[in-house]
Chains A and B, each alone.
Chain A
Amino acid sequence: MSEETFDEAKTLVKSVVNEKGLKFPKSYIEDIANARIKHDLTDDELSTVVDKVQEAYERSFIQAGEAVGTVAAQSVGEPGTQMTMRTFHFAGVSELNVTLGLPRLIEIVDARKKIATPTMDIYLSSEVPEGKELAPNQDEEFVRKLANYVGKSTINDVLEDFNINYAEMEIEVRLNKSKIVDEKRLDYNDIIAKMEKITKKVEIDKDDDSKFTLQPSKTSIRELRLLADKIRDTQISGLKGIGKVIIRKEEEYTLHTEGSNLKEILKIDGVDNSKTKTNNIYEIFTVLGIEAARNAIINEAVSTLENQGLSVDIRHIMLVADMMTSEGVVKSIGRHGIGGEKSSVLARAAFEETGKHLLRASIHGEVDKLTGVIENIIIGQPIPLGTGSVNVVMDEKYD
């Protein structure tokens, strides 16, 4: 058999599946197509494989009435006891600290707007732009420039010499020009302008333009010291919310940042928007929307669990993510989110803030229809899940 491409195999499998009048999820078709290429399946064999998959699919289909929510919650929650608490760990990039383990999982489930350690992985486009020789992901010059544009650096980072002269009540600053131009690739005049913003009294040495003397607006030692600190901390480059940037080179250049600013990063030319990611779910939601947030929750939760060596079926995590995002906004799991918005008064009262819910229900004249699990447990009736979900239905014909 001649070499068959993946796409060809895929269409073939699709047609075989369609011919049999079956419906497979996309991933199954892809898997079978891969198998066909790997094992050189003949058409007959392919047909039997499809039959076998269908057989297995039918067998493993979920039963109606199954309490999928509880099972998912238990499957995600139970491994929590086995996770480490150690907040900081080196993940992937050894230079950056990232929250991992149980604290991270709680953070995801809480749908926090401000997470403890936001980070970004910035990928660069592999297409060579016009008039250039290298694609952004191979171009060191471009990467360094970008890193300095994105990453936070202060005057302190480019100092050659810094001295407080108490006798003259001034600060002597010498900048490292090579660092500014060669390493950080910053604009020299820009830095001076930034300094002048802080104090008007900036004097440039006549012989050496990298040497300055600064004076505070009010002459006092206190002011002088404050000024010294202020100058050192003056940010000369970087995007809001982003701190350190680390450049990595394997097959291509990638940037890893401490802090995250998805919106601004995606605007930059040469950044691969399809691969670049952040671990801040709320940011993804605001920039890319709810579906992206849902996928981000799944990805983050899966990688957190995997990192701890715990295997949890992705379907459980999907359900948690879908529950959190089903109303178009990211809702947290807990009293401020899903727990506090249940339709049943008893369910809310049994969870948290008992008094508040009961009092509120009384003046609103709420009605508890007793359709959930906990309400029925409270009043001592069978729950509407599993074997309790089946009812006798009267045939409408016999009126």
Chain B
Amino acid sequence: MREDGIIKKIKQINFGLMSPEQIRKLSVVKIQTPDTYDEDGYPIENGLMDPHLGVIDPSLKCRTCGYRGGDCEGHFGSIDLARPVIHVGFGDVIHKILRSTCNDCGRILLDDVEIEEFKQKIDFCKEHDENINDIIKEVYNAAKKNVCPHCGAEQEDIKIDKPTTITQGDYKLTASEVREKLERITDSDAYVLGVNPEVARPEWMVLTVLPVPPVTVRPSITLDTGERSEDDLTHKLVDILRINQRLIENMEAGAPQLIVEDLWELLQYHVTTYFDNEASGVPPARHRSGRPLKTLAQRLKGKEGRFRSNLSGKRVNFSARTVISPDPNISINEVGVPEMIAKEVTVPTYVNEWNIDEMKEYINNGPNVHPGANYVIRLDGRKIRVYDETKEKILEQLKPGFIVERHLHDGDMVLFNRQPSLHRMSMMAHEVKVLPYKTFRLNLCVCPPYNADFDGDEMNMHIIQTDEARAEAKSIMRVQEHILSPRYGGPIIGAIHDHISGGYLFTRKESVYSEEDAFQLIRKSHLKMPKRKHKDWTGKELFSLLLPDDLNMSYRANICRHCEDGCLKQDCKNEAYVVIKNGELISGIIDENAYGSGSGKILDRIAKEYGPSAAREFLDRSTDMAIAGIMKIGITTSLNDEEIPEEAQERISEHLLKAEKDVDELVDTYNEGYLAPLPGRSLEETLEMRIVQVLGEARDKAGAITEKYFGNVKDESLVSCHNKFDMSNHSVVMAKTGARASMLNLTQIAACVGQQAIRGGRINRGYKDRVLPHFRKKELGAKAKGFVYSSYKSGLDPIEFYFHAMGGREGLVDTAIRTAQSGYMQRRLVNALEDLKVNSKGLVTDNCGMVIQTIFGEDGVDPAKSDHGKVVDLEKVISEMRVNSNSKKSAKKEPYHLTYDYGKSNPKENPIFKWVNGEMYKQNKGKTEKVEE
């Protein structure tokens, strides 16, 4: 289409039925013989593989259009059916129409007033592009009359035996009789019955001619053995032809009516299964092997059908897939592409006088050396593969206007995607960075939107082929444009794992660096070099280099304990109260609440006020700094982190024993009948709830004790509200800062795993009245119903292990079911809402122009641009306003720019010197200047 410079647009598609005449007119050949090929393997004339129907083999010529296989799109043939046959899909409609029309005169069973009324209703709907199904239903209901209002004839009951048998009273109507009845219906009656006479006549629903699809629709496969294997449709057509032939012969021979009828019915069966092999009431036609045939309806239907699998989604070229692995050294905007892939997938580039030298270089490198080229498209549209042998010739010919399909190189925009693509952040545009080895590399901050990890995940990459698409991808699909999620108006791309624990370890009070170390860190973080201080640097000072100079904010970090005896704010012993003044981190540490994905407050602020580029810059540089920082300090965790002293162990078992006793007591009270039921609950339920509560408390207490002892805090006096944990324990650091795991996980490792649950209650299945035969029947104690006293570290006993596995199994089953259910829900939601858009006047409308909302979300605010759903944080506005009015500083924002380029080798940013017509030109950032020698 493109190549001719003509772009045609399809404006609309009209649906209708094909009349027998149309089918015949379309047909290039009448198929009569059920055989396909003769002994020599040549297609038989008037057979199902008649060469008039088109060819697949590129070496053959089509007898109809003269094109070769591949170019010929195929031509329809036809089969004249010996007797008419009902189309399965319309059995129901035919029945309804016959029931609504007079058996005698064929008029619709409505009086003229009603007809006019319904006609107007249908006209109205058609005019307004509305669905007429409901009106047609009404017509069918209204036309259930016993006496014809036109001729006065009494009506016999017409019934349908699905799918295609129609009976009038006790008499079984033949398809010919049905057709005759349908023929009598006038056009205007048909219109009211829902058959639009402009495109369809009722009798066309009974087939007399069957169109035969071209061979391109049903290609035969040649197996390795040389045997030919025909398509399911061809098989079915052979069946139809055979029966049709026999029927003709029998009729000509004047066979008894019974035999003719039997054959007729058989023909009906074959035509039925040819259209739909899953029609209810019909045994599916099977292949010799017993596999049901895939006929027309099956080709279209369902997930693997034509619509969902081939039309709504397509296989594409210029895509790549491989395993992903992490790389904190590349930007969030980048993706590391293996050289092997970069040499395979290409970018079509128009040759012009400015890039011709570059292109020549690529061609010279050929397809096997990295920045090379695979194909060249000449001005006449011919595509030439670049080989070492053809290189010279191509280089000679090359001139502006050619298209070179060059290898992927650094800076190219590609789309990157991980399934399941649940939201728009599952497919974002990245810049290519060609790297060694064979995996895609991505920055860890983009793991949350893709929901990726590196336990073997694979991702797809698509290379953009046109400039329009490239421009669009760069301006709206780039990773940095998606830092803020439209789901909740906060960052979804942000720090995870070591990035967070690193931030903490390196901004806390203890972190002081000599100036040499500090400058090394700054260098590693690709930051502008600050002035020397000739003094030690704190981690906070270093982190401040990342912040914009006019940033003012304060918030509570993730490590905040929410002290009951009042917040000490800046004097918090845990440094949980973060204060940033004019871009200086005054107090507090950096953790998940600073730049984590989902809750990062600083990141959120920067993304909203300084823009996506600044946010990207902040994330990239802070990754560098956190990684560099964490490498100076070192972080390691082992089982020793979950070590607790003997004393703690004793205290825990004390609590657990007490809980066990309490449970036994509860059971005793229950058995004695003294247990008081909770309102609205039975005694058994009450007991169950109380036991769960007691055991839950016991585990929590055990957890609380463990937390106190973590990291061997020997001095109990230190264990106060304001300093509960020893943050030299790296497991605790990770849990508290939000980097990974939770305190619950840690206490389960160290102290007690706790109650295992199935279906929200204690484990209650297995043998009769008991879960395992190790218990007495009807035993209600803690251990008998799945309470795990042990910790993961000490190890579970066999019974506990079994209970734990039961609980674990439930979790697995749950996730499996849930993904299927939520996937279907999302498909339905997307299907229902996909056509909605905001129009130029701010109304939310569907594709027909129907207004769904007069203003989006009642205030017209884009959630992605909002501040967690609000337009603006008034508190922030007011405090900022007051600060500004006090200091009288100019509110003008300094441009936020962190990076100093240490000579990064980005070919796009370094000038390229070129020779054109004997003169040297300097090409830099799109500008070309002449250079005087």
Q: Which residues of A contact B (CB under 8 A)?
A: 25, 27-28, 31-32, 35, 39, 41, 45, 48-49, 52-53, 56-57, 59-81, 83-86, 88-89, 94-96, 102-103, 105-106, 109, 244, 246-247, 311-316, 318-320, 322-323, 326, 333-334, 337-339, 341-347, 349-351, 354-355, 358-374, 377-379, 381, 384-387, 389
Query: Given A67-B837, A363-B205, are A368 and B825 also a contact pair (CB < 8 Å)?
Result: no
Q: By the criterion CB–CB under 8 Å, are A78 and B422 in contact?
A: yes
A355 to B88, CA, bound (A): 11
Contact of A80 among B13, B89, B681, B825 (CB under 8 A): B825
Q: Which residues of B contact A67 (CB under 8 A)?
A: 834, 836-837
CB-defined A-B contacts under 8 Å, sample of 7: A52-B872, A61-B861, A68-B837, A69-B835, A80-B821, A102-B821, A362-B17
Q: Which residues of A contact B419 (CB under 8 A)?
A: none
Q: By the criterion CB–CB under 8 Å, are B832 and A333 in contact?
A: yes
Q: Mark B850-894, 1 if CB is under 8 A from A, else 0.
A: 101100111111111110110110110110011000000000000
The answer to whether B194 has its CB under 8 Å from any CB of chain A is yes
Q: By the criterion CB–CB under 8 Å, are B487 and A25 in contact?
A: no
Query: Given A31-B874, A377-B312, are A318 and B12 also a contact pair (CB < 8 Å)?
Result: no
The answer to whether B286 has its CB under 8 Å from any CB of chain A is no
Q: Which residues of B contact A48 (CB under 8 A)?
A: 881
Q: By the criterion CB–CB under 8 Å, are B830 and A362 in contact?
A: no
Contact of A77 among B830, B856, B877 (CB under 8 A): B830
Q: By the criterion CB–CB under 8 Å, are A313 and B859 in contact?
A: no
Q: By the criterion CB–CB under 8 Å, are A364 and B196 in contact?
A: yes
Q: By the criterion CB–CB under 8 Å, are A322 and B679 in contact?
A: no
Contact of B759 among A86, A346, A378, A389 (CB under 8 A): A86
* Nearest A residue to B681, CB-CB: A95
For residue B600, give the distance in angstroms from its CB to the closest CB of chain A.
14
Q: Which residues of B contact A85 (CB under 8 A)?
A: 814, 817-818, 821
Q: By the criterion CB–CB under 8 Å, are B859 and A28 in contact?
A: yes
Q: By the criterion CB–CB under 8 Å, are B872 and A361 in contact?
A: no
Q: Which residues of A contact B846 (CB under 8 A)?
A: 69
For residue A230, give the distance in angstroms from its CB to the closest CB of chain B.
22
Q: By the criterion CB–CB under 8 Å, are B826 and A73 in contact?
A: yes
The answer to whether B63 has its CB under 8 Å from any CB of chain A is no
For residue B628, give the distance in angstroms from its CB to the closest CB of chain A.
33
Contact of B836 among A45, A60, A68, A339 (CB under 8 A): A68
Q: By the criterion CB–CB under 8 Å, are B198 and A83 in contact?
A: no
Contact of B12 among A81, A339, A370 (CB under 8 A): A370
Q: Which residues of A contact B200 (CB under 8 A)?
A: 362-363, 365
Q: Which residues of A contact B472 (CB under 8 A)?
A: 387
Task: With A49-B878, A323-B836, A351-B831 given, name 11 new contacts (CB 8 A).
Answer: A53-B871, A75-B423, A77-B830, A78-B487, A84-B814, A89-B760, A338-B832, A339-B831, A359-B93, A366-B14, A381-B10
Contact of B195 among A56, A347, A363, A370 (CB under 8 A): A363
Q: By the criterion CB–CB under 8 Å, are A319 and B878 in contact?
A: no
A351 to B829, CA, bound (A): 11
For residue B489, give the distance in angstroms from its CB to the closest CB of chain A.
6
Main secondary structure, interface of A, reads helix
Q: By the criterion CB–CB under 8 Å, are B862 and A76 in contact?
A: no
Q: Mark B456-477, 1 if CB is under 8 A from A, else 0.
A: 0000000000000000100010
For residue B596, give the distance in angstroms from its CB to the closest CB of chain A.
14
A-B pairs with CB below 8 Å: how many?
Answer: 338
A314 to B858, CA, bound (A): 10
Q: By the criterion CB–CB under 8 Å, are A74 and B830 in contact?
A: yes
- Top-10 shortest CB links A-B: A315-B857, A69-B836, A77-B826, A365-B196, A80-B822, A69-B833, A95-B680, A313-B863, A365-B199, A56-B872
The answer to whether B610 has its CB under 8 Å from any CB of chain A is no
* Nearest A residue to B882, CB-CB: A45
Q: By the criterion CB–CB under 8 Å, are A368 and B13 in contact?
A: yes
Q: Which residues of A contact B679 (CB under 8 A)?
A: 95, 246-247
* Nearest A residue to B879, CB-CB: A39
Contact of A369 among B12, B89, B194 (CB under 8 A): B12
Q: By the criterion CB–CB under 8 Å, are B860 and A62 in contact?
A: yes
Q: Which residues of B contact A385 (CB under 8 A)?
A: 835, 837
A148 to B871, CA, bound (A): 48
Q: Which residues of B contact A103 (CB under 8 A)?
A: 821
Q: By the criterion CB–CB under 8 Å, are B834 and A69 in contact?
A: yes
The segment out of B158-166, B296-304, B574-582, B919-927 that lies at the interface is B296-304
For residue B622, give the distance in angstroms from its CB to the closest CB of chain A.
24
A70 to B424, CA, bound (A): 9
Query: Given A56-B872, A60-B862, A78-B487, are A337 and B832 also a contact pair (CB < 8 Å)?
Result: yes
A373 to B9, CA, bound (A): 15
The answer to whether B387 has its CB under 8 Å from any CB of chain A is no
The answer to whether B674 has its CB under 8 Å from any CB of chain A is no
Q: By the criterion CB–CB under 8 Å, are B878 and A81 in contact?
A: no
Which of under 10, 10 to 19, 20 to 34, or 35 or more describes the interface residues of B?
Answer: 35 or more
Contact of B829 among A77, A96, A312, A318 (CB under 8 A): A77
Q: Mark B168-204, 1 if CB is under 8 A from A, else 0.
A: 0000000000000000000000000011101110000
Q: By the criterion CB–CB under 8 Å, are A322 and B833 in contact?
A: no
A41 to B760, CA, bound (A): 51
Q: By the criterion CB–CB under 8 Å, are B488 and A312 in contact?
A: yes
Contact of A368 among B12, B297, B308, B842 (CB under 8 A): B12
The answer to whether B844 has its CB under 8 Å from any CB of chain A is yes
Q: Which residues of B contact A350 (CB under 8 A)?
A: 307-308, 311-312
Q: Which residues of B contact A109 (CB under 8 A)?
A: 825, 828-829
Q: By the criterion CB–CB under 8 Å, are B833 and A75 in contact?
A: no
Q: By the criterion CB–CB under 8 Å, are A72 and B871 in contact?
A: no
A361 to B136, CA, bound (A): 13
Q: Which residues of B contact A378 (CB under 8 A)?
A: 307, 311-312
Q: By the criterion CB–CB under 8 Å, are A364 and B132 in contact?
A: yes
Query: Given A60-B865, A77-B826, A81-B422, are A365 and B16 also a contact pair (CB < 8 Å)?
Result: yes
Q: By the criterion CB–CB under 8 Å, are B874 and A333 in contact?
A: no
The answer to whether B642 has its CB under 8 Å from any CB of chain A is no
Q: By the criterion CB–CB under 8 Å, are B312 and A64 in contact?
A: no
The answer to whether B773 has its CB under 8 Å from any CB of chain A is no
The answer to whether B129 has its CB under 8 Å from any CB of chain A is yes
Query: Given A358-B300, A381-B9, are A363 and B825 also a contact pair (CB < 8 Å)?
Result: no
For residue B315, give the distance in angstroms from its CB to the closest CB of chain A.
14
The answer to whether B848 has its CB under 8 Å from any CB of chain A is yes
* Nearest A residue to B881, CB-CB: A48
Q: By the criterion CB–CB under 8 Å, are A320 and B837 in contact?
A: no
A358 to B10, CA, bound (A): 19
Q: By the criterion CB–CB under 8 Å, are A70 and B833 in contact?
A: yes
Q: By the criterion CB–CB under 8 Å, are A246 and B826 in contact?
A: no
Q: Which residues of A contact B844 (CB under 8 A)?
A: 68, 319, 322
Q: By the criterion CB–CB under 8 Å, are B826 and A66 in contact?
A: no
Q: By the criterion CB–CB under 8 Å, are A60 and B861 in contact?
A: yes
The answer to whether B131 has its CB under 8 Å from any CB of chain A is yes
Q: Which residues of A contact B260 (CB under 8 A)?
A: none
Q: Which residues of B contact A95 (CB under 8 A)?
A: 678-681
Q: By the criterion CB–CB under 8 Å, are B424 and A71 in contact?
A: yes
Q: By the criterion CB–CB under 8 Å, are A32 and B17 in contact?
A: no
Q: Mark B422-449, 1 if CB is under 8 A from A, else 0.
A: 1110000000000000000000000000
The answer to whether B906 has its CB under 8 Å from any CB of chain A is no
Query: Given A64-B839, A319-B857, are A70 and B825 also a contact pair (CB < 8 Å)?
Result: no
A315 to B846, CA, bound (A): 17
The answer to whether B720 has its CB under 8 Å from any CB of chain A is no
Contact of A373 among B819, B826, B834, B858 (CB under 8 A): B834
Q: Which residues of A contact B859 (CB under 8 A)?
A: 25, 27-28, 57
For residue A34, give the distance in angstroms from its CB to the closest CB of chain B.
8
A199 to B136, CA, bound (A): 52
Q: By the criterion CB–CB under 8 Å, are A74 and B853 in contact?
A: no
For residue B328, give the distance in angstroms from its CB to the closest CB of chain A.
26
Q: By the criterion CB–CB under 8 Å, are B195 and A326 in contact?
A: no
Q: Which residues of B contact A79 (CB under 8 A)?
A: 487
Q: Which residues of A contact B760 (CB under 8 A)?
A: 86, 88-89
Q: Which residues of A contact B834 (CB under 8 A)?
A: 67, 69-70, 73, 372-374
The answer to whether B838 has its CB under 8 Å from any CB of chain A is yes
Q: Which residues of B contact A370 (CB under 8 A)?
A: 10-13
